[in-house]
Chains A and B, each alone.
Chain A
């Protein structure tokens, strides 16, 4: 008779070995671990998913959706009609992907960043010059952020066009509207962090709009900027808003948004069901596409493909690179400064009149407000395109209006500048490197060159630059106050490897004959090598 040993230490695995032998005990343990990790699929289930086998009945692949945390946010099956690109275009999924992408690249950048005006800009230079993959992470973080804004906006447009915001999904739409606003804001506050001229002035435009709000504007603005000017306090606040406050709000709203999708099912294409009814929740057995393996595989493929595309887009010098302008300087407003592209329409609106009405009330109160509550205003049940002519026309009209306003927001519309400064800015723009900084250093000889004599300039580079200068001045020649306008480029040897290049515009007032001039100096170093991704 076996006498049970007294147990000092309880190790079930040892008992298992004793009972089943080492091999069987080990495979059982592995099976158990996999089942726990996948919340319900053992090794052979995982294998059958990977092989694309027909699932057993009852389908074990539904268990992770019921018991696991991550997959409980994903439907376990989709209607076959939702399997193609239309009607979702995968835009909602893409938005989530970019959110994850921004989180990961953002974490990398956070390691090398201090939110202080004293060092923030230096941190950028350090990221570019001294951090392995630093430029890459910065570029794809910026690119991902811009694409996320685009994707979220298109997601909303698509939802509008297919009428998917209608009952019972009004609340899903409302959370989506808030997510769009949060996406714009999180991107906007990220603008300030590099502490370059672009940051400072894009955010200054936004903040001064907020300030114009009656009663609370001044306080809200002070609270956000931490003082009458954006400084150390404002930068720290923008940083915390960008990395903490808004991402937390995004995660919470994203959870609600996802939960509502599970609850109501994916809205089918409008033509797939009878007018006014919603059948998305109950998917008949014969039209189901299960998440595993088909949709899971596809999403993994998308992740791999998008990662390759995003990394590839910024990998080499010729790709996309996040801009980095000179150090922020509250005393120097760069010519042609604008807000971020997705807020240009607001800048366009602001050119129409009062800062508060056109900069805050209309865009935030009217446009975003209406957008969020739209499903509660437009309550018609029918989602067919033919029955929604007015609604779809409003959307098309808004898009055209947004495009026009965006154009109006650019410096090309209703911004008075002098042609002399414009002409110099053509060669020496203040918001990007521009032709002179990108020119071949060696190919600019010393001497004084006249813009209109570009044809006889000694080198090709000089001739090209002078022609651009002259063409820009030509536009100023229509202006009656510019008589005999002429441009000069003076190149002097200043130091070892350093040229002093003066761009000078001289003209005379035709009536009084009074001479005037405008000039700007640019020191050009042989190795400054602009245009390598900054």
Chain B
């Protein structure tokens, strides 16, 4: 009995001592978990960024023709926020933009698509905690922000419009290639992937240089082109007038008629005609 009581007393004192030791250790433990939790937000955000944001903003956030760079100095030094008149913090701005998207383009830029809504609250796929994770990942670029702003410039040149029979100036295929790969981003869907019909010859189909002549002969052709060249111009400026079989309408940005000048269209056409 004595030993029982001694043991019990020892255990009781032990439990109380443990409680005191733990009380002293708790603040450090909570802080350490908070730090590791914030680090894991960045890890998870990186994974979400890779699947959701990378296609438009680039693997390292350096931007693509489809979306502006995020890994840029003026985002982190506050310049950009004051330029657009944002009164909250950068973290707030990121969460808001990721959640609710951007219905209007930033002034001076001319990207083909608007930022979609990503939060489940606004019809997107991400949970609230995932939005926070993505913002945490973008915030982590802070001290390594490299890329400058590269808005696509709006020139005063004559815009193409939707007239496919208009006479075009002389075009240069090399300039056209540059435009396709950067400013207009055609390459992303038509050369590097098969989101849109590939420009190069595939299987039984010849390249687009000659494909237009075949298309306009087809019974299901719904456009107005009368020649191969006109067909190619039409696919750029009035993409949805005829959608090639097995592809969905509405994928191709429909605003190229307002974004491409006559001269650029000529360059692009010259480049497209190199795919035989």
Q: Could you list 14 further interchain pairs (A-B, Cβ under 8 angstroms) beyond the known A130-B34, A498-B140?
A: A121-B129, A129-B37, A132-B30, A133-B26, A297-B8, A307-B15, A327-B129, A327-B130, A494-B46, A495-B46, A495-B137, A497-B39, A523-B42, A525-B43
B221 is an interface residue with CB less than 8 A from chain A: no
Could you list 29 examples of A-B contacts with CB < 8 Å?
Answer: A118-B128, A128-B37, A129-B33, A129-B37, A130-B34, A131-B30, A132-B23, A132-B26, A132-B30, A133-B22, A133-B26, A297-B5, A301-B5, A304-B9, A304-B11, A305-B8, A307-B11, A311-B18, A495-B137, A495-B140, A496-B141, A496-B142, A498-B46, A500-B46, A521-B47, A523-B46, A528-B40, A528-B43, A534-B33
Docked pose: A122 CA to B19 CA in angstroms = 26
Q: Is the CB of B140 within 8 A of A529?
A: no
Seen from chain B, the residues whose Cβ lies within 8 Å of a Cβ on chain A are: 1, 4-5, 7-9, 11-12, 14-15, 18-19, 21-23, 26, 29-30, 32-40, 42-44, 46-47, 50, 60, 127-130, 137, 140-144
Q: Is the CB of A130 within 8 A of B129?
A: no
Docked pose: A130 CA to B32 CA in angstroms = 10
Docked pose: A7 CA to B36 CA in angstroms = 71
A527 is an interface residue with CB less than 8 A from chain B: yes
A135 is an interface residue with CB less than 8 A from chain B: yes
Q: In residues 119-142 of chain A, which contact B (Cβ within 8 Å)?
A: 121-122, 125, 128-136
Docked pose: A500 CA to B59 CA in angstroms = 12
A297-B4, A498-B140, A529-B35 in contact; A305/B43 too (CB < 8 A)? no
* Inter-chain contacts of A125 with B (CB < 8 A): 37
A291 is an interface residue with CB less than 8 A from chain B: no
Sorting the interface of chain A by its residue count into under 10, 10 to 19, 20 to 34 or 35 or more gives 35 or more
Interface string of A81-123 (1 = CB under 8 A from B): 0000000000000000000000000000000000000100110
Docked pose: A298 CA to B29 CA in angstroms = 35
Closest CB-CB distance, A296 to chain B, in whole Å? 11
* Inter-chain contacts of B30 with A (CB < 8 A): 128-132, 134
Docked pose: A494 CA to B141 CA in angstroms = 9
CB-CB nearest in chain A for B30: A129
Q: Is the CB of B144 within 8 A of A495?
A: yes
A495-B42, A495-B140, A521-B50 in contact; A305/B36 too (CB < 8 A)? no
Seen from chain A, the residues whose Cβ lies within 8 Å of a Cβ on chain B are: 52, 118, 121-122, 125, 128-136, 294, 297-298, 300-301, 304-305, 307-308, 311-312, 315, 326-327, 494-498, 500, 521-530, 532-534
* Inter-chain contacts of A308 with B (CB < 8 A): 11-12, 14-15, 18
* Inter-chain contacts of B44 with A (CB < 8 A): 326, 523
Closest CB-CB distance, A506 to chain B, in whole Å? 20
Q: Is the CB of A532 within 8 A of B5?
A: no
A308-B14, A496-B142, A500-B46 in contact; A528/B39 too (CB < 8 A)? yes
Q: Is the CB of A301 within 8 A of B4?
A: yes
Closest CB-CB distance, A472 to chain B, in whole Å? 22
Closest CB-CB distance, B107 to chain A, in whole Å? 29
Q: Is the CB of A529 within 8 A of B14?
A: no
Task: State which of B1, B47, B130 has its C-beta within 8 Å of the C-beta of A294.
Answer: B1
Q: Is the CB of A315 within 8 A of B37?
A: no
Task: State which of A135, A300, A315, A498 has its C-beta within 8 Å of the C-beta of B42.
Answer: A498
Q: Is the CB of A527 within 8 A of B39?
A: yes
* Inter-chain contacts of A496 with B (CB < 8 A): 140-144
* Inter-chain contacts of A122 with B (CB < 8 A): 129
CB-CB nearest in chain A for B141: A495
Contacts across chains A and B counted by CB atoms under 8 Å: 117
Closest CB-CB distance, A293 to chain B, in whole Å? 8
Task: State which of A131, A311, A524, A534 has its C-beta within 8 Å of the C-beta of B43.
Answer: A524
* Inter-chain contacts of A526 with B (CB < 8 A): 39
Interface SS majority for chain B: helix
Q: Is the CB of A128 within 8 A of B39?
A: no
Q: Is the CB of B18 within 8 A of A315?
A: yes
* Inter-chain contacts of A131 with B (CB < 8 A): 30
Docked pose: A260 CA to B139 CA in angstroms = 64
Docked pose: A498 CA to B47 CA in angstroms = 12
A135-B29, A297-B1 in contact; A528/B8 too (CB < 8 A)? no
A132-B30, A315-B22 in contact; A298/B4 too (CB < 8 A)? yes
A121-B129, A498-B140 in contact; A311/B15 too (CB < 8 A)? yes
CB-CB nearest in chain B for A122: B129
* Inter-chain contacts of A307 with B (CB < 8 A): 11, 15
Docked pose: A307 CA to B11 CA in angstroms = 8
Q: Is the CB of A129 within 8 A of B46?
A: no
Task: State which of A130, A297, A311, A525 has its C-beta within 8 Å of the C-beta of B19.
Answer: A311
A304-B15, A305-B7, A305-B8 in contact; A136/B22 too (CB < 8 A)? yes
A129-B33, A300-B8 in contact; A529/B22 too (CB < 8 A)? no
* Inter-chain contacts of A128 with B (CB < 8 A): 30, 33, 37
Docked pose: A521 CA to B26 CA in angstroms = 34
Q: Is the CB of B7 within 8 A of A301?
A: yes
* Inter-chain contacts of B11 with A (CB < 8 A): 301, 304-305, 307-308
Docked pose: A131 CA to B29 CA in angstroms = 10
* Inter-chain contacts of A528 with B (CB < 8 A): 36, 39-40, 43
**10 nearest A-B pairs in the assembled complex, by CB-CB distance:** A301-B8, A523-B46, A525-B39, A529-B36, A304-B11, A528-B39, A527-B39, A304-B12, A305-B11, A129-B34
Closest CB-CB distance, A512 to chain B, in whole Å? 20
Docked pose: A125 CA to B34 CA in angstroms = 8
Docked pose: A529 CA to B43 CA in angstroms = 12
Closest CB-CB distance, A439 to chain B, in whole Å? 14
Closest CB-CB distance, A34 to chain B, in whole Å? 21
Closest CB-CB distance, A501 to chain B, in whole Å? 10
* Inter-chain contacts of A294 with B (CB < 8 A): 1
* Inter-chain contacts of B32 with A (CB < 8 A): 529, 532
* Inter-chain contacts of B35 with A (CB < 8 A): 527, 529
Docked pose: A528 CA to B130 CA in angstroms = 17
Closest CB-CB distance, B41 to chain A, in whole Å? 9
Closest CB-CB distance, B123 to chain A, in whole Å? 16
Docked pose: A527 CA to B50 CA in angstroms = 21
CB-CB nearest in chain A for B130: A327
* Inter-chain contacts of B18 with A (CB < 8 A): 308, 311-312, 315
Docked pose: A298 CA to B11 CA in angstroms = 13
Task: State which of B4, B36, B43, B141 has its C-beta within 8 Å of the C-beta of A523.
Answer: B43
* Inter-chain contacts of B42 with A (CB < 8 A): 495, 498, 523, 525
Q: Is the CB of A498 within 8 A of B43?
A: yes
Closest CB-CB distance, A485 to chain B, in whole Å? 25
